[in-house]
Chain A
């Protein structure tokens, strides 16, 4: 299971002059089990803050986050995260990065390597088992980060613009791979992006945020069948609709 409910979530950061900056204003949304949801918004709209709060890395001002009927407090073993920047531990080899969470759980070396190797295979990096992150390309590093998050078998996978720093070709390839992994493992995914194209390609539903303060502007279901062809007219049509909608309703006020 992996049903996420966010109710009336608000967050403000204090400013130098004593006032406070409202980053998220009364966000409520539901993500169904095994659903792939993209949160789309321009930079500064609070989408990363929203994800960090779901992850338990930031605390909310008010409101609640509920996963499978259980209110979340702090970080949670049921939630995995792939960060925007390279968050792999550079002092650990690929296999030891993937096995890190299992090591924290106290699993023996043999067991955790056996499990980690499964996820290594899932992201097609078997031959880089003993490499260090510094020896990998950007795309490979993010693949390892995905494997590392999945190794703990979370019900909810959070992804914070994980492919934002990659070139277009690599990004498209990783998007395809991510969908394959998602089909195979059936996690609930909340994926942050500022790319309409990426959101339309990946998600079941797109949630568009407006900035300052971050509010949900529109929820947009994507009813295209998978695998999606980003060059098809249907895909282009959906993308246009989303873009029009953003320009009409969700631009910066």
Chain B
């Protein structure tokens, strides 16, 4: 039997859209890979410095991506260590303790925070810096610490949301077993609910790390610069991969600098897709083990 006209149209339309999207993404990634794969080598990262000297911080690396990579890593580390405890604790509160009206209010707040454009979060970090500069100490300038704090604000809602959803989606039997054996609410949370929901929470965390690695708008206003070397302390300026890519795209002066930009874009893409794969892997493999044991 021949399919009706509109059904064939539907199939054609959906295939068309799917192929269009797939080809757009392949063109974007393919363009970077084709143009940039040649630049990926140790010179790109360490330039003239010997890799070991650079890694051990014996000598400053000039002209390579090493300072930008270190900057991005320290940014991630700081931001996540601020956002993780607060985010997970709020998620637990929202799913386990909060009465309905509080839950409504707090999850609205978290939703709004998640929707705020990242540049506004950056502007907030910047205005805090001015505020502190005026009222506390005029030695406070945009720096690594301020950037990390602002980024923490940016990823906080993701961590709260994933924790809350992970805890709320636990099956009822899991929830009731420990209290039935005499466990208190806190014991139930720490020994049963959190471990069971852990894989989802961790995969959410990894995605939050990806957000920290890719975000440019926040750090643009809060202390990233084009050349700073490896940050000496959390109060100094720093370099970061995404900002480096933006900077090259707008201000490159010669083809070799542009090639470095392609290399940096490719490295950032690899880091972010790696994080994405890790998050997926954690979610799928560990989750199945958990399901086995119940």
Please indicate whether A and B come from the same complex rather than being unrelated chains: no
B interface residues, Cβ below 8 angstroms from A: none
A interface residues, Cβ below 8 angstroms from B: none
